Structure 1
Amino acid sequence: MEIDGTQQQSAAPLLVEEATQEFESEPYDDEQPSYVPAELVKPWCSNDASALYHCYLIQMKPNFCYDIPVNDIVLGMRSELDCDIANMTFDLEVGRGTITVNFKKAAEIHLSSEQVLQCRRFQITIFRILLDHELPNLGKVLERLCLGQNLGIESIDYLLLPAARMHQRPSIIDWECVTSVSFRCEENSEYHVDCSPPKNCSGVLHTKNGMVCTCRIQNSLVYTPHTGLLYCITGLLHDLNGNSLLRPRGRRARSYKTHYEEKHGIKLRFDQQLWLKGKHIFKVQNYLKSCRLHAERDSCHTSVELPPELCSIVMSPLSVSNLYSFSFVPSIMHRLESLLLAVNLKRMVLDRCTENVTIPTIKVLEAITTKHCKENLHLESLEALGDSFLKYAASQQLFKTYQNDDEGDLTVKREKIISNDALCKFGCDRKLPGFIRNECFDPKSWIIPGDYSGGSFLNEELLFNKRNIYIRGRRKVKSKRVADVVEALIGAFLSTGGEIAAIYFMNWVGIKVDLVHIPYERHFQVQPEKLIDVRHLESLLNNYSFRHPHLLLEALTHRSYMLPQIPGCYERLEFLGDAVLDYVITVYLYNKYPGMSPGVLTDMRSASVNNNCYALSAVKHRLHEHILAPDNVHSNIANTVNNFERLSMESTFGWESETSFSEVLADIIESLAGAIFVDSEYDKNAVFQSIRPLLEPLVSPETMPLNPVKEFHDYCQKMQYIMKKPVKSIQNGVATRTIEVEANGVVKYTYTSTASNNDTAKRLACKEFLRLSKGN
């Protein structure tokens, strides 16, 4: 029998070139490069009189109330940002709430070499202070700035500067603040000593720098050498001086002057002058981290009183708002760097694409971000989607290409395409590991642009599209991480560009597949109606009408049912239907619950696509009565059916079961899906609409049962229990599983369960552990 159908307009179907070949045994070193986008790298040539910078405003809007406002920051880059990055919006997770960040194109400006050097001195100073909270090493860092600039070293290079207020325009940069790093007392005294105070100035104060106008010491950053601490000055304390009384808890009252002499051995010389109100320097944290706990009050939230004569001014004018705003910049720039990596990867993939494929950069970023980054986006949902499409695309390609191969041979061929080892090889061959984001952002490791003190020099590398990118260093990336990212990228292309885009990416990465329909040849010498009730079965399948009922007969024929009139059993169709069902159910869940967290979506997929679920559905609709199989197979099925009487038939989820299932029952659901897929000429919607009634009610976030095995692992991780390697064995057809859990070096729990197979034994052991641990 030949099942005809109109082929899609396409070239001859591509064969899976690697399907029958062993992958080369050359191992991939887990030491992989870590890429830096070229947009952030630009060697400075000191001979240039000026340089063009594309300026963007980094606008931050706090979604909470706080007494310190947030100011805009100017980002100056030698390269123009991609349009979908320039309009990107994302949130920072701050202890008090969230801050919404967006970029806005502001202007293009030319800066002289002196201005660039001045800008770099400013940003190195402010970020070194915020990250290190110390001053002594700053001078050496700034000395290396000139050295690195003169050598023209390729390193991270862009500008981060305070934005000018409206009254400071036309310049978008607050140049007065930028030059604050070069604070000199002489400049101040030239105008404010021995003369009447200017407007808004109440006089001068004696500092470590000399006599300084109060209008300059307010809104400044100071250093107190006797403590080695830095403070941001926010104002004057008009009712406090050295003779004011200090009342420490539980001690006698004494003046501040006496306190400094007794505790620090310092005699205050100017005890009549007003004191300063200061704040500790803000802590730079990872504000991209999801689910940040509300920070407790720490020293940066409280005010301190400082005698001016013990303060050395480091930067002035520098407001506490600017310092607060710059503390968020490392996290913002880490996100921007990640987005630029995603842009470079997208360009590399689509460089020679002739199809009209548009993939949002944020989707590519999601696909290359693992859970280890602990951010509010990661690849798990896209990985589940891409995994299902990969399995589907590879399965239908093999099914139609190798029509004489049995299920075992097809499975072996498919494994050589979709296994983690195979996907890792595909990914490494296309230089994907360098793009993977696999670590939680540590602000301490952030490279301050223009800072040459840390040896953060880069090596250039060319990608497949001949664009350059830079290597910051090497790191370990597990092969499974590379495989996960390949699957997630398939999911990203599929979810935004459709199946054509996903197929394009798979072919680009080296997985040669297409979706062209090829007729399926089978020659039956018997009428299906003589062996099965075709009309009744079609009614169970949502009234799907088979054009070729022979496919239905093949889908219900067990391999041990030997009839010469039937050329095959259900296993080939089961191989295909398994992949098709997995894919259509995953797509259904992904589209129906778009706001669902990645972990929950993955769990929902696992609850819907599993043998237990399919077996329950088959029994519920009495499909086992239609299977063509010998008596011993039917006897095994009958035992399973009898055990089902203890289960609720209202649910088709199999995790609640404490018994094992005959695999034949699950196989039949999948083979029926495969038969419909082939009969309908690869119509996936027909498969879903026909099989869905058998699986109802489909899982939802409200009805999803917890997988006891996953719940067991999550619970042990939460309680910081150590899970010992399980002991498992199979004897005389009985599987035994022993799990052991330690807490503080002591065995807390040991349990052994038995069942007819390993999976059931494992599930029972985990359920019993959870029952005892939770006191149920």
Structure 2
Amino acid sequence: MLIPAALRVPWTDTENPVFLHSYFIQLVPIPADRQYQQFGLFVKGPLPGGAGTMELDLHLSRGRIVRSKLIPLGVTEFDAEEIIQAQNFQELCLKIILDRSIFFSDFVSLGESDTSQSLSTFYLLLPMRGTNHENKLGVDWNIIRRCLSSPVFHRGVDSIDHSPIHGSSSLILESGPVNTRDILNCLVFTPHNKLFFFVVDILHGMNSESAFPDHKRVNYAEHYSEEFGIHLRYPKQPLLKAKQLFSLHNLLHNRVQKNTAPRELEEHFVELPPELCSLKIIGFTKVMGSSLSLLPSIMHRLENLLVAIELKGVFSSAFPEGLEVTENNILEALTTEKCMERFSLERLEVLGDAFLKFAVGRHLFLAHDALDEGQLTWKRSCIVNNSNLRKLAVKSNLQVYIRDEQFDSSQFFALGRPCTVICDDDTETTIHSQQEIENITGGDAAANRKCSKAHLWLRMKTIADVVEALVGAFIVDSGFKAAIAFLKWIGIEVDFELSQISKICSASKSYMSLSKNMHMADLENSIGYKFLHKGLLVQAFVHPSYNKHSGGCYQRLEFLGDAVLDYLITSYLYSVYPKLKPGQLTDLRSASVNNNSFAHVAVSRGFHKYLISGSDSLSDAVNKFVDLSEKCFRKSLSNGPSCPKVLGDLVESCVGAILLDSGFNLNLVWKIMLYLLAPVLNFSTLQLDPIRELQELCQSRNWKLNPSSTRRGGIFSVIVEVNAEDFRLSSSATNLSKKVATRVASEEIFLNLKAKGYKSKRKSMEDVLKSIIKQEATLIGFDEATMESLNPSQLGDLEGHDTSLSAGALSNLMTTNDKLNHRVDVSFKSSCTQSTPATTPQWQQGETSEGGSSLIDLQMGGMKNKVSAKSHLFKLCDSNSWNPPFFECINEEGPHHLKLFVYRVRVEVEDAKSTILECYSEPQAKKKAAQDHAAEGALWFLKHQEHWKN
């Protein structure tokens, strides 16, 4: 595990003075029920990125919070003696809060730690005094020197005056009389129970003969006599008011219960007879102890944040998009659930996993047009499986940045407390043995023991999860382009050429022979989208059983549609439910992205009517399911026939066809998805897996769940039994599918238990969705330049939504054919003024619509209409039976609020020369204007080539 470089820069003994960058650690308690000693952090170099201003909430008991913040103070100068004192003070603090048993003895050495064999950090945490106003804070050397003057750090030297002092100026401690000024605000040790206490006051109105608080004993003297067998010699001495030294906790984990406001917590104090106390550290106050209880958690988070900043530096030096991801999201992507922080990689992992499968699936779909769905799925699995992701991550050295352990005080090492488990060539095998691997596989805490090189065992899945979470981080912070750049850096190619889309769309013409009996317009209305390449729509409904056509079936489109739907629905859930836990997010996605829910969508849209199949048994199964769906609308269908997979496949293949037909315009597919899957995404009839729900209920109550099954004549009989201490329930079901039968029996028992009032201790998903914050659905990250082949009339009910694409550059025209490849520069201004034959429609530039696009005046048969150049180009291609023009954004430039776009239009002129015409727009402020400008160039050329005729 990587130790951040910013904390590993040492200062040398030869430096005098030493200059260290200082940061004030501001601590604000909520509620304000505690006081804290001001502390500062001192490091050799400035903290990079946002580390120097890091803010962090530390969670205490009862919902209390301490809000911490680093505030840069500039550079502080230390002379040689001050550096030694500062280092010894830090060692003192670390020993008393982490290794306090050392202080059982009468002498504790300081300044003898050897850091040469350990990956030690070099920073100092020192008390400060003054105010932050005008940077008047400085190191409190009085506190440091007073603590270091304690006799426990000086063998044979006693700095305390034990001579008898008359009056109330001294008290007799375990080691003799001590002046009260040294007793107040000090740390004492009570040998009889081996505990440490901060002395906060001397109770002159109480002594050992005072009544004991629990009223079971007469006084304090009697209490110590009965409990510990101690007979006090000085019962008349005033008692000491003391607070026990804290135990260090992980304060990074959110311990606040929902709907619980922070409450003040009254401090607990005890009264101690002075003669039972041994003085340890003078001037070590309760206020300073309170601050020291927070600092290790702060430094643990700071180390993790610095590691994330280092990784961002690796990304930004490798590819420009690396600058666009935030260090906080990198940290989240590197932090596993095991760390017990208030965040983890799991939400980002869910999003990144969905995008990875979509991006890789899209790449394979376009690159291998001869592979079927099974082959594509296998190829994708080889790329996105955990083993391959782990291999690629290790190759890029990503594993060293992963944070996979919670804050453990015993494993907190810093300057003054180096790791004592020295790992070298001779000891590495012993320290990190096979036993350790077995321990970590079983979750044994012993395996988390750190060595001097900060080695850490990681599971393969953990490394793979981090890769997916980093993909998610890039998507959230920047978009698809940045995520793809990261994937390319790690070794996963997902690029594709827009021409590959055109090739597949053109090839879909072969399916048009099957469209004779399909009411295409009705089907398009049901989908909410009008296809440009209608062969894709036909292909989406051809089942593999249909063998009267050699062109294939819907399975490849299903593969593509499944991948894009998985990402779109994940994006929907991620954006709508930002507070949903990762496990709940996965459960909700499973409840929505499944064959059963898609099958109901297919039936409601009438997709089954258009299925082209060669199997009578399949048709019968579909018809039975459709009939039952209509009879049992919005009711459980678990007892009915098995849901035919083909129905869910139709939804996925349909979406895959739209994705291709739209030129991979994910914004458009997103709107179609929201339209098609509205009944699924409102979760009004949410049904989680009854098998899993029953299992969780039984586990939460320690009930035995016993499912059993038999098979006769192809029919499965399943019996599910639940055995509790005071009752027994069983249910049986039969079905052709064992899974369906098990689901039916499990659902019956679960509903029976639910009716009796038994509920899982976990909150139901329905209750979660009712109470959780809900936001507007957003398509996350889509920022790719895509190819537009859409006529505005294609959008049907969705017309009016923004479906324009990004890009743009140049102002010229290209024609190509088998024998010709030349470029012709065109000046639109001059071309607009040229005369044309009377039989040719006349057009002129210069008039602009509200949307910013040029309008063309068309004079046909004495009628004058105003239409955009883009629309007219579509009509021209259609009238000549050419493929529709393809618009592609090839460049965008300028700042976000002053973007200029350049578009290219591609027209396949199917004449004797088979000309391919490409025209480029000038940079335009609006995408639609750039598209129209490119279209004007194409129309100008076609007009002069006599392709434009009335």
TM range (shorter): 0.7 to 0.9
Asked whether 1:103 is paired with 2:109, we answer no
Query: CA 1:235–1:92 in structure 2 vs 1: closer, same or farther (change >3 Å)?
Result: same
CA–CA distance in structure 2, aligned partners of residues 721 and 362 of structure 1: 43
> Which one of 48, 52, 58 corresponds to residue 86 of structure 1?
52
Q: CA deviation at 1:389?
A: 0.7
**How far apart are the structure 2 equivalents of 1:141 and 1:729?**
73
Compute the displacement of 1:157 (Å): 2.9
- Equivalent of 2:471, from 471, 478, 490? 490
CA gap of 1:569–1:152, structure 2 versus 1, over 3 A, is closer
Deviations 1:240-259 (A, max 9, x none): 124445476344x35x4565
**Aligned with 2:613: secondary structure?**
coil
Query: For the structure 1 residues 537 and 247, does the alpha-carbon distance in structure 2 shift closer, same or farther, using more than 3 Å as the test?
Result: closer
Alignment of 1:581-730 (within 5 A): 581-630=565-614, 631-649=616-634, 660-700=642-682, 704-712=686-694, 714-716=696-698, 718-719=700-701
Q: How does 1:531-570 map to 2 (within 5 A)?
A: 531-542=517-528, 544-564=529-549, 567-570=551-554
| 8 Å Cα contact 1:727-1:738 kept in structure 2 | yes
Q: Which region of structure 1 is more displaced relative to structure 2, 388-397 or 53-62?
A: 53-62
Aligned to 2:128: 163
User: What is the distance in 2 between the residues matched to 1:74 and 1:677?
Assistant: 56
1:520 aligns with 2:503: yes
Greater shift in the superposed pair: 57-66 or 623-632: 57-66
1:683 positional shift: 0.8
Which residue does 1:22 correspond to in 2? none
Cα distance in 1 for residues equivalent to 2:640 and 2:335: 37
What secondary structure sits across from 1:148 in the alignment? Answer: coil
Secondary structure at 1:524 match in 2: helix
Corresponding letter in the other structure for 1:117: I
C-alpha distance 489-356 of structure 1, shift in aligned 2 (>3 A) = closer
TM-superposition CA deviations, 1:166-193 (whole Å, max 9, x none): 3999552222222343234799767999
Q: Is the 8 A contact 2:62 2:262 kept in 1?
A: no
Shift of 1:510: 1.1
Structural RMSD (CA): 3.7
Name the CA distance, whole Å, in 2 between partners of 1:722 and 1:425. 41
Q: Structure 1 356/159 Cα, relative in aligned 2: closer, same or farther at 3 Å?
A: closer
Q: What is residue 284 of structure 1 aligned with on the other side?
A: 248
Distance in 2, matches of 1:679 and 1:180, equals 78
The residue correspondences of 1:3-152 to structure 2 (distance < 5 A) are 34-43=1-10, 45-66=12-33, 68-97=34-63, 98-136=65-103, 142=109, 145-148=111-114, 151=116
Residue 134 of structure 1 aligns to a residue in which SS? helix
1:445-497 per-position Cα deviation (integer Å, ceiling 9, x unaligned): 222442136336799xxxxxxxxxx9744443222222221111110111111
Structure 2 residue corresponding to 1:351, chosen from 292, 302, 317 = 317
Question: Displacement of 1:732 after TM fit?
Answer: 6.3
Give me the whole-angstrom Cα distance separating, in 1, the residues matched to 2:542 and 2:578. Answer: 39
Worse overlay, 675-684 or 280-289: 280-289
Deviation at 1:503, TM superposition (A): 0.2
Distance 1:62 1:192, change over 3 A: farther
Secondary structure of residue in 2 paired with 1:408 = helix
Contact 1:141 1:451 in 2 (8 A): no
SS of residue paired to 2:125: strand
Per-residue deviation, 1:136: 3.7
Query: What TM-score, normalized by structure 1, do the two folds share?
Result: 0.82
Count matched residues. 715
Question: Is 1:509 equivalent to 2:495 in the alignment?
Answer: no
Instruction: Output the amino acid matched with 1:556.
Output: F
The change in CA–CA distance for 1:111 and 1:750 in structure 2 (over 3 A counts) is farther
Deviation at 1:367?
A: 1.2
Task: Measure, in 2, the Cα distance between the counterparts of 1:189 and 1:657.
Answer: 86
Q: Distance in 2 between matches of 1:279 and 1:341?
A: 37
For the 8 Å contact 1:614–1:665, the answer to whether it is kept is yes
Q: What is the CA distance between 1:739 and its match in structure 2?
A: 6.9
Q: Decide which structure has the larger Cα Rg and report it.
A: 2
Greater RCO between the two (CA within 8 Å, min separation 6)?
1
Within-5 A mapping of 1:202-221: 203-208=169-174, 210-221=176-187
Question: Does the aligned pair in 1 maintain the 2:720–2:731 contact within 8 Å?
Answer: yes
CA distance in 2, matches of 1:471, 1:349: 28
Structure 1 window deviating more from structure 2 (336-345 vs 44-53): it is: 44-53
Q: 1:428 to 1:282 in 2, by over 3 A?
A: same
Shift of 1:35: 2.8
Distance 2:339 2:720 in 1: 30
Paired with 1:577 and 1:696, the residues of 2 have a C-alpha distance of 17
Distance 1:257 1:480 in 2: 61
Cα 1:474/1:771, change in 2 over 3 Å: farther
The 1:216/1:647 distance shift into structure 2, 3 A limit, reads farther
- CA distance in 1 between partners of 2:10 and 2:747 (Å): 60
Q: Specify the code of the residue in structure 2 equivalent to 1:286.
A: N
Distance 1:300 1:722 in 2: 45
**Partners in 2 of 1:344 and 1:328 — Cα distance?**
25
Unaligned runs of 5+ in 1: 1-33, 460-469
What does residue range 381-530 of structure 1 map to in structure 2 within 5 Å?
381-452=347-418, 454-455=420-421, 472-517=453-498, 518=500, 519-521=502-504, 522=507, 523-524=509-510, 526-527=512-513, 529-530=515-516
Q: After superposition, what is the alpha-carbon deviation per residue over 1:626-654, rounded to whole angstroms, capped at 9, x for unaligned?
A: 111123321121122123235334x9xx9
CA distance in 2, matches of 1:340, 1:158: 14
Closer, same or farther: CA 595–85 of 1 in aligned 2, 3 Å: farther
Question: How far has the Cα of 1:569 moved from its partner?
Answer: 0.9
Summarize deviations over 1:309-328 as a string: whole Å, max 9, x none. Answer: 33222222122122112112
Q: Deviations over 1:35-92 (max 9, x none)?
A: 32233334554344343322222222222252x3234431222232222222332322
Report the Cα distance in structure 2 between the residues aligned to 1:183 and 1:743, rounded to whole angstroms. 66
Please report the TM-score for the alignment, with normalisation by the length of structure 2: 0.68
After TM superposition, give the deviation of residue 740 of structure 1 in Å: 7.7
Shift of the 593–528 alpha-carbon distance from structure 1 to 2, 3 Å rule, reads same
Q: Could you list the per-position Cα deviations for residues 297-351 of structure 1 after superposition, in whole angstroms to 9, with x for gaps in the alignment?
A: 9x99421112223322222212212211211222222222221222222222332
Question: Identical aligned pairs, as a percentage?
Answer: 33
Please say which of residues 627-636 and 159-168 is displaced more in the overlay.
159-168
Question: Hey, what's the Cα distance between the residues in 1 that align with 2:38 and 2:716?
Answer: 64
Structure 2 CA distance for partners of 1:366 and 1:141, relative to 1, 3 Å:
farther
- The AA in structure 1 aligned to 2:487 is M
Q: Residue 751 of structure 2 aligns to which amino acid in structure 1?
A: R
Alignment CA distance shift 1:553-1:748 (3 Å): same
Distance 1:639 1:258, change over 3 A: closer
How far does residue 516 in structure 1 lie from its aligned partner after superposition? 3.9
Structure 1 letter corresponding to 2:598 = Y
Task: Give the C-alpha shift of residue 101 in structure 1.
Answer: 2.2
Task: Measure the CA separation in 1 of the matches of 2:637 and 2:18.
Answer: 64
SS where residue 623 of structure 2 aligns? helix
| CA 1:44–1:550: 2 relative to 1, 3 Å | same
Per the TM alignment, residue 100 of structure 1 is displaced from its structure 2 partner at its CA by 2.1
The answer to whether the 8 Å contact 2:512/2:538 transfers is no
* Deviations 1:402-459, CA, capped at 9 Å, x for gaps: 1122222111111111122222222222223333233333223222442136336799
Q: Distance in 1 between matches of 2:6 and 2:739?
A: 50
Contact 1:339 1:362 in 2 (8 A): yes
Distance in 2 (alpha carbons) for counterparts of 1:739 and 1:116: 72
> Displacement, 1:124?
3.0
Cα distance, 1:220–1:658 mapped onto 2, change above 3 Å: farther
Shift of 1:755: 4.1
Larger CA deviation: 619-628 vs 57-66: 57-66
